[in-house]
Structure 1
Amino acid sequence: MQDLTNITLGEGLKLYREKVSILKKGYAQESYRIDALVRAPMASKVMRDIQSPDIADYRDWRLGQKNLRTGKPISAATVRLEMSLLSSVFDVARIEWGACGPNPVTDVRKPAPPPGRDRRLQPREERRIMRYCHNHPTFELYSVIVLALETAMRQGEILKLQWSHINLRQGIAHLPETKNGSKRDVPLSVKAREAIMRLGVKTQGRVFGYTSNGLKSAWRLMNMRLGIEDLHFHDLRHEATSRLFELGTLDMMEVAAITGHKSLSMLKRYTHLRAVRLVKKLEGHKHRGHLAVLGHLVPYPAIAEQTPEGTVVRVLDFEGLQATASTAEQAIRSAQDALLRHLMVSLRDKLPVPQPDQYLDLVDEDDVIMLDPLSQYSALPGSSEPAHTFLQ
């Protein structure tokens, strides 16, 4: 048997990877952390000689480094994970290898945990992403994102889906293996089933051809081209979980059964309800009709164009909704009246009304007029002042 009483930390880390990490589901991520730890100055020290001050020095040294890929400082969350891994290595070395005494990591303060992410996907971002995916040469990308938003499944769970585990008749996707080690059945909404069926249903094999790195690359490129900042793929799981709560029909245990969260405290961290939902709850039922009307009568973007017939004001979010007049002021007022009539008829007939900005990315925002159906005046392009002050 190999004598491990005087191995260095670097040797212990590599042995841990070969004997312990290899058996874990998160082997790839843990292997990356081991690579970082092996490069640390204390990796050359004998494990038995490493004390708590050495671990504290490592913590401070690591926090002062920068990520080679992004150029940003190493996060506190990364250092916490590395220290947890170090602690496990020392525990195994003490108990199974006899390579050290007490665990020197246990008495060292970890960096304060960062606040949980509360990034919500904005409606305009979602519309732009969906339009981008519809035109993407890899048609699977659209279905991947729809599934993430409709089911709250993790990226790895989506990419590992097998056709044999999907029951479209019952509307269930069976996940035999998940991150936390337990299996679960995920209910599929109508949108989720449509996203799967558009791929061409098969009897066996993987549903998606994407690899983890391939999807990360496609996601990164999409955000770069659309100019969307600080949106991670995992944020779609946050978004989906929040939307499940916002339905108002599911309790926490039912949401946990769908998302696979085992810790209810962790589930609370993922749920960031939109303020507009809370406003409706605060108002209760007594002003429901009033809120419904006000929710429809909001400003919409429009653009004004000069033509031989006069000024044409076109409302971007409604096809064919425009007004023409000899002056810009008259055209704007006519467009406001037309928008108000259209919104009220839609409310009366219970017709869907688009959110006010889904086509803004197709025009120069400096040319946009915000057309308020309830205001006497609307602002001209490039100004916050009302139109009448410029059109006299």
Structure 2
Amino acid sequence: MASFTVEKRKTAAGVIRYRCIVRVKKDSAIVYQESRTFGKLADARAWGKLMVSHIETQGIPGQQPAVPTIRELIAMYRNDPDISKKIGRTKGYVLDLLADSDISRLQADQLSTMAIINHCRDRNAAGAKPQTVAQDISYLKSVFAAARPVFGIPVGDDVIREVIPVLHSMGLIGRSERRSRRPTEAELDKLRAGLASRMNHHASKIPLTDILDFSVLSCMRISEVCSILWADVDAAERVVLVRNRKDPRKKAGNHMWVPLLGDAWDIVQRQPRDSDRVFPYESTSVTAAFQRVRNALGIEDLRYHDLRREGASRLFEAGYAIEEVAQVTGHRSLNLLWQVYTELFPGRLHAKMKVEK
């Protein structure tokens, strides 16, 4: 346990000095000690606190830190105050799964390409799809990438980067399949009716049908819908500021003004203003209600996120250009939207050619 004390001393010339002593004890025995003298008490204390913090996170200076198991390294990663606040639900779930797997019993410096391949084979054998296993490897890589700079653990992500092309070639990991599922109008009508019935329960307070329709019309993710602030609604322009919008390159601070087209604006206006948020509900509660109703109705292979694609498709069908749709969906890259567009209108260029002739 590291600690420090400050001693007040007077030199032969009568000058007051402050000596800070940092010690590390183990079983009452001093295993490390270092001291430094300062002219100001505040400087002595600041150095002492800095040294104690360094020792507790990086180990005793000059000593090679003990290499933890992968399970212990994952725990360090998850508990870091700056890293933990950026770990989403999916990543947290995958890291917990990794911590319970056989590979996590290895010491971090014993991770090998063979161990990674065997982990992927085991996951595939248990029924996990290649794109699911790819998440394991991606998040494990992020843990190892942080090991040396953040925790002073002498390991890196080189082994993982080396084996990734091999895992792809073996078919053990793969890219996520791009979805094209859209709800039919009949399915949406059934969902509205089912959600409305659920809203009639005395304990229900969530306007599930409004949120369902707003999700389609605004093309927002459910987490974005449930985060909209009344203070960020601009009535003059009929736009809303969506804060920290998801972006592969930048999430924190990625704020975007989004137009609320058509009935989306009306839905917002009829919400009660008894909270700082327009829809002051947990996004997980909304999706849970959606899933229960969907399952009860027997609607297969429909996810809440598919409503976002439905909204974008409707905008294209209404004649909006890709750049205009991107203003609503928030896509920084137009590639995904272009795929949606070409799936909707594969023969539009042929039709345009006929018109030009």
The corresponding residue for 2:246 is: 179
The corresponding residue for 2:8 is: none
Is residue 76 of structure 2 the alignment partner of residue 15 of structure 1? yes
The corresponding residue for 2:307 is: 236
Counterpart among 116, 129, 146 of residue 92 in structure 1: 146
Distance 2:153 2:71 in 1: 16
Q: How many residues align?
A: 275
Distance 1:279 1:91 in 2: 46
Partner deviation per Cα, 1:111-132 (whole Å, 9 max, x = no partner): 1224201101112112222333
The corresponding residue for 2:181 is: 119
Contact 1:164 1:203 in 2 (8 A): no
Contact 1:9 1:44 in 2 (8 A): yes
When normalised by structure 2's length, the TM-score is 0.70
Contact 2:147 2:154 in 1 (8 A): yes
The corresponding residue for 1:162 is: 229
Is residue 104 of structure 2 the alignment partner of residue 47 of structure 1? no
Distance 1:7 1:98 in 2: 8
The corresponding residue for 2:325 is: 255
Counterpart among 288, 301, 306 of residue 217 in structure 1: 288
Partner deviation per Cα, 1:17-76 (whole Å, 9 max, x = no partner): 12253131x4333221111011111211111111111111111111222xxxxxxx3232
Q: Aligned in 2, Cα 1:271/1:53: closer, same or farther, shift over 3 Å?
A: farther
What SS does the corresponding residue of 2:240 show, helix, strand or coil?
strand
Contact 1:118 1:272 in 2 (8 A): no
Distance 2:91 2:113 in 1: 22
Is residue 217 of structure 2 the alignment partner of residue 146 of structure 1? no
What SS does the corresponding residue of 2:159 show, helix, strand or coil?
coil
Counterpart among 68, 74, 81 of residue 128 in structure 2: 74
Q: Aligned in 2, Cα 1:40/1:133: closer, same or farther, shift over 3 Å?
A: closer
Distance 1:168 1:59 in 2: 52
With 187-196 and 231-240 compared, the bigger mean Cα shift is at 187-196
Structure 1, unaligned runs of 5 or more: 66-72, 288-392
Partner deviation per Cα, 1:146-186 (whole Å, 9 max, x = no partner): 11111110110001112222233421111122222211111
Distance 2:281 2:183 in 1: 23
Distance 2:191 2:342 in 1: 21
Contact 1:157 1:175 in 2 (8 A): yes
Contact 1:186 1:258 in 2 (8 A): yes
Q: Aligned in 2, Cα 1:147/1:27: closer, same or farther, shift over 3 Å?
A: same
Distance 1:17 1:124 in 2: 44
Q: Aligned in 2, Cα 1:179/1:214: closer, same or farther, shift over 3 Å?
A: same
Is residue 158 of structure 2 the alignment partner of residue 103 of structure 1? yes
Letter in 2 for 1:21: I
Distance 2:294 2:226 in 1: 20
Distance 1:43 1:197 in 2: 51
Letter in 1 for 2:193: R
Distance 1:157 1:258 in 2: 12
Letter in 2 for 1:87: K
Counterpart among 332, 335, 342 of residue 265 in structure 1: 335
Partner deviation per Cα, 1:69-97 (whole Å, 9 max, x = no partner): xxxx3232221112111111122224442
When normalised by structure 1's length, the TM-score is 0.64
Structure 2, unaligned runs of 5 or more: 1-54
Contact 1:173 1:186 in 2 (8 A): yes
